[in-house]
């Protein structure tokens, strides 16, 4: 069964065996851990994962590919669903360490990342393929042009590492950009503030990143409210830890409350 990639689903199928092997070697899961693959496509990566891990689940939205995977791997657990609509608690084995791996469609990379971050307590780690430019934003440092909302949230909730670059010519069809493999270890301590509040502060600050925090956060912080923090700085100057501390301060002062 031959399946033509769907442009509407952002499908680019990996077709290089050496790259596949290199990716799997970077997944830090052990044989008995649960591995969940997002968007297995034609099963090139899946086949190597099956040979290495005993507990593999794949999430595939495309019925054509689900059928293909079922024929190739009759015993494989296939979840036919949109990954953004998945209830992770219905999929994971709570008695095991759980790792996520996948080649993320470029057009929904950010929503998938935020979904994993929102549920990060369920996972031990992840190994994800994405557009190289997005990967660079995830590891960006303060005071750089790539540093933004995604950088702060990812670095606050995981230990993130840019593993290696994947050239565009190992995919079919060939995309216009190179990709990268990024690893995530969800080993950070609890936030000590409400995740929803943290996200509000970070997003609001970066929505007007060129403005000083006093102006960028004026929809949150009342005018002339006295806080023991320098609001003359800009969002891109704050570290993830400083954003967390600011959120805690706003909660303790009663500005942010449930």
Domain-embedded: residue 18: yes
Among 185, 212, 236, where does a domain finish? 185
Q: Is the pLDDT score of 12 beyond 80?
A: no
**Are residue 21 and residue 67 in the same domain, yes or no?**
yes
**Are residue 178 and residue 200 in the same domain, yes or no?**
no
Residue pLDDT, tens place only, 219-248: 999 887 888 889 999 999 999 999 999 999
Q: Domain span at residue 247?
A: 195-252
Query: What pTM did the predictor assign?
Result: 0.92
**Are residue 123 and residue 234 in the same domain, yes or no?**
no
**Are residue 147 and residue 203 in the same domain, yes or no?**
no
Q: How far apart are CA 211 and CA 204, in angstroms?
A: 11
Residue pLDDT, tens place only, 117-147: 999 999 999 999 999 999 999 999 999 999 9
């Amino acid at each position: 069964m031959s399946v033509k990639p769907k442009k509407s689903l952002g499908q680019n199928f990996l077709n290089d065996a050496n790259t596949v092997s290199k990716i799997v070697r970077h997944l830090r899961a052990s044989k008995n851990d649960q591995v969940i693959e997002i968007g297995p496509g034609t099963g090139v990566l899946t086949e190597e994962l099956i040979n290495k891990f005993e507990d593999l689940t794949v999430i595939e939205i495309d019925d054509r590919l689900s059928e293909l995977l079922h024929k190739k791997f009759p015993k494989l657990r296939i979840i036919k669903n949109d990954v953004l609509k998945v209830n992770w608690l219905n999929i994971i084995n709570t008695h095991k360490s759980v790792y996520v791996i996948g080649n993320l469609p470029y057009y929904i990379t950010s929503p998938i990342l935020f979904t994993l971050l929102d549920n990060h307590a369920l996972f031990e780690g992840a190994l994800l393929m994405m557009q190289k430019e997005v990967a660079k934003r995830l590891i960006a440092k303060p005071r750089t042009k790539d540093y933004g909302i995604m950088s702060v949230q990812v670095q606050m909730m995981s230990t993130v590492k840019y593993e290696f670059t994947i050239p565009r010519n190992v995919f079919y069809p060939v995309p216009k950009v190179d990709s990268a493999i990024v690893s995530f270890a969800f080993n950070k301590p609890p936030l000590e503030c409400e995740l929803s509040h943290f996200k509000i502060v970070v997003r609001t600050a970066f929505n007007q990143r060129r403005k000083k925090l006093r102006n960028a956060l004026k929809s949150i912080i009342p005018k002339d409210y006295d806080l023991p923090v320098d609001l003359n700085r800009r969002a891109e100057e704050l570290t993830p830890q400083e954003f967390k501390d600011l959120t805690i301060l706003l909660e303790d002062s009663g500005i942010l409350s449930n």
